[in-house]
Amino acid sequence: MPHTTRVLRSEWTKIRSVRSTLWTLATALIVTVGVSAAICAVTASQFDKLGKQQQATFDATQTSFSGSGLGQLAMIAFGVLVVSSEYSTGMIRTSLAAVPQRTVFLASKIFVATMLVLVVGMATSFLAFFVGQALLGENSVSIEDEGVLRAVLGGGVYMTLIALFSMGLSFVLRSPMLAFAILMPFFFLISNILEAVSATKKYAHYLPDQAGKTITAVVPESLNRPYGPYEGLAIMAGWAVAALIAGWIVLKRRDA
């Protein structure tokens, strides 16, 4: 236990000593809240112009998380930097020499990063919700309404899972350039394109981001998925666990 405690402290020191890593978390909060606020303000001003069907199925809660699509890119950057920066600098050799138990090394890094991301993710989610609802005015909802608190908490969990997925894949790829080259285009463009094309839409429903975001939906008609919010989050969690297991296998079998 004392050895594990020292490893945890070491991982915390690594994260907080790299400014670019911490800046990605700040960026995630600012971008998510800022973009969501802008969309909520525009939606409030144009709400009367929406069709009756759109007004009837309007999900005020999910609208307050409209900026999460961009904010998640910063969380992806955090996940990549936490892992692959050690590979790019060669510090991974020193880390594994100090902690030869690779499972302990990976678990400690994941634990410290998860706790940090969860705090930032929850703060981002609650702030985005309250700012968004204030801007929506008469079309807003209360956090005490049915399903709303679940959606807000789920928003923070989703941001945590997207970072964990990125960390797992980064252990597999071991290169920040390669990880960014795959993850950024996939979550920013490819996933949304597959969701928009009728031929691939039913498969895109099960992609990590498309499934995970359903946890922020409160109005059933706005889901447009063959599963509910909890099932969607479970799918996202499955992707994250699979990525972490793959990363653990690669870390155990490959040399630094």
Q: How many CA atoms lie within 13 A of 165 on its CB side?
A: 27
Can you give the pLDDT at residue 224? 81
pLDDT digits (tens, 9 = 90+) for 82-135: 998 888 888 888 888 888 899 999 999 999 999 999 999 999 999 999 999 999
Residue 256: pLDDT band (50, 70, 90) is low
Nearest in space to 121 (alpha carbons), one of 219, 54, 212: 212
Q: Is the pLDDT of residue 1 over 70?
A: no
pLDDT digits (tens, 9 = 90+) for 167-193: 999 999 988 899 999 999 999 899 999
DSSP state of 141: -
Give the number of other CB atoms < 10 A from CB of residue 204: 18
Can you give the pLDDT at residue 79? 94
Instruction: Give the pair of three-digit tokens for residue 173.
Output: 């790829």
